[in-house]
Amino acid sequence: MLGSDANKQLAVDYQKKLSSEALISVYGFVTMPNHIHLIWNQNKLNGKETLKGNLLKYTGHEFLKKLKEEGKSYLHEVNAANKKHEIWQRDSLGIEKYTIKVAGQKLEYIHHNPVNGKW
């Protein structure tokens, strides 16, 4: 779903917002055509939601708004009892990094992972 530069910027801007509110500390990120790699620390909850859930929820709603404006929301329709659309992959992967060494290895990986296209 990230595809466009505007969508990528939306995700980056929301990370900046969470960071400026001291909810997260971002150590590294890479935006790719269809997903994001993030290395961050959740400093505190944003209400009852995790920050990962908050990021996915906010960006998902914003992306869906754009898709509806473009008449393309049908591309993300799902047959589910609790929702009409699915923007992000369900159960997106989140792995805790317990040591600085592991976090450093992952940071190295995400910045050298082959990418097709911009960003």
Q: Are 24 and 44 in contact (CB under 8 A)?
A: no
Q: Which helix (H) or strand (E) holds 42?
A: strand 36-42
Choice between 55 and 112, residue whose per-residue pLDDT is larger? 55
Confidence of residue 55 (pLDDT cuts 50, 70, 90): confident
Number of domains the chain contains? 1
Range of the domain at 70: 5-112
Determine if the pTM surpasses 0.85.
no
Within-domain flag for 81? yes
Residue 119 is predicted with a pLDDT of 39
Within-domain flag for 117? no
Within-domain flag for 118? no
For residues 7 and 65, what is the distance between their CA atoms, to the nearest angstrom? 12
Q: How far is the CA of 41 from the CAs of 22, 28, 30, 32, in angstroms?
A: 10, 10, 16, 20
Within-domain flag for 47? yes
Within-domain flag for 21? yes
pLDDT at 118 over 80: no
Within-domain flag for 16? yes
